[in-house]
């Protein structure tokens, strides 16, 4: 039987991001998924129109039901507010956990409030195998920790987060986008991918899902990240209509 990933997050009605994207991504890897829905949103690519968060007890119940079957890894995305973070933290199975700290949509809507960020740092971060903030998310988490972004990475690890993948897609480098993987017991690994022209929604969800799928298949963290970068570059290249021989991502230390 193929590995199964529990995805905890929101429904993006447009299908661009969220659980629909997670499930499609895992299916494309030949993996099974199950879900706990934290919120239902009405959105287009341009705007998040409405957000309805689910009752925390219902989210906990979905996680418990999912855990009646096999769960090989867990991926967490949108959480909405602190009560949902607490419910998820209490119900989580002890499995490899990828946390995509979904704080704000590309269109600018907040998807986790300040109390939720504090709860995420206090209750979820200690359980995390790999956290995947982009640069603006890292800045927000750093501000909540009262630290610089550089220091925040160490503070997240001090709290029990085993690894942090900082996604550099928002920085200003013109040709190459670099992500940095921080682990306590290894040098920083860098992942380089060609910077393609365009914006795709749901790339954060997709990257975290592929990594969770890799961990569910017992890949180590670095290999799971490398695989995910390849899959994302392929999607970007197809969306941007790049020639087949355009550069693929590479890793270095
Ligand atoms: N809506 C939901 C339910 C999400 O999970 C996410 C991201 O994970 C978003 C919206 C934001 O996606 P994007 O940043 O691609 O707009």
Condensed to tens digits (0 to 9), the pLDDT of residues 190-226 reads 999 888 776 778 899 999 999 999 999 999 999 999 9
pTM: 0.93
Task: Tell me how crowded residue 211 is: count the other CB atoms within 10 A of its CB.
Answer: 30
pLDDT recorded at residue 249:
63
Q: How far is the CA of 134 from the centre of ligand 1 (A)?
A: 13
Nearest atom, ligand 1, residue 78 CA: 5
Q: Phi/psi at 97 (nearest 5 deg)?
A: -130, 120
Higher pLDDT pick, 250 / 179: 179
Q: Is the CB of 163 under 6 A from ligand 1?
A: no
Distances (CA, A) of 134 to 45, 97, 126, 168, 170: 19, 17, 19, 6, 7
pLDDT recorded at residue 243:
52
Q: How far is the CA of 85 from the centre of ligand 1 (A)?
A: 17
- As assigned by CATH, the class of the 4-252 domain is alpha beta
Task: Find the DSSP H helices in the chain.
Answer: 18-28, 56-66, 82-91, 114-119, 135-145, 149-158, 203-216, 221-239
Average pLDDT over residues 125-131: 98
ipTM: 0.94
Is the C-alpha dihedral spanning 109, 40, 17, 169 positive or negative?
positive
Q: Is the pLDDT of residue 52 over 80?
A: yes
Pick from 243, 244, 241, 247: which is nearest to 200 by CA?
A: 241
Using DSSP's 3-state secondary structure scheme, residue 166 falls into strand
Average pLDDT over residues 101-117: 93
Give the domain ranges of the chain: 4-252
What does the alpha-carbon distance between residue 135 and residue 177 come to, in Å, rounded to a whole number? 12
pLDDT recorded at residue 145:
97
Q: Is the pLDDT of residue 185 over 70?
A: yes
């Amino acid at each position: 039987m193929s590995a199964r990933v529990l995805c905890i997050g929101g429904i993006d009605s447009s299908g661009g991001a969220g659980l629909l994207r997670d499930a499609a991504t895992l299916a494309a890897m030949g993996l099974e998924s199950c879900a706990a829905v934290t919120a239902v949103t009405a959105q287009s690519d341009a705007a998040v129109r409405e957000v309805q968060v689910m009752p925390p007890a219902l989210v906990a119940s979905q996680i418990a039901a999912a855990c009646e079957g096999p769960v090989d890894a867990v991926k967490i995305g949108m959480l909405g507010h602190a009560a949902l973070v607490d419910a998820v933290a209490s119900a989580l199975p002890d499995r490899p956990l990828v946390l995509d700290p979904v704080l704000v949509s590309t269109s600018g809507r907040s998807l986790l409030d300040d109390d939720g960020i504090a709860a995420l740092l206090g209750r979820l971060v200690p359980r995390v195998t790999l956290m995947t903030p982009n640069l603006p998310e890292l800045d927000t988490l750093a501000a909540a920790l009262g630290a610089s972004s550089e220091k925040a990475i160490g503070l997240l690890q001090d709290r029990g987060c085993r690894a942090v993948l900082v996604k550099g897609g928002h920085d200003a480098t013109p040709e190459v986008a670099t992500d940095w993987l921080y682990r306590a017991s290894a040098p920083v690994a860098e992942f380089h991918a060609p910077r393609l022209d365009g914006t795709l929604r749901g790339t954060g969800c997709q990257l975290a899902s592929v990594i969770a799928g890799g961990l569910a298949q017992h890949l180590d963290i670095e290999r799971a990240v490398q695989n995910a970068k390849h899959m994302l570059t392929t999607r970007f290249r197809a969306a941007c209509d790049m020639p087949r021989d355009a550069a693929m991502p590479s890793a270095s230390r």
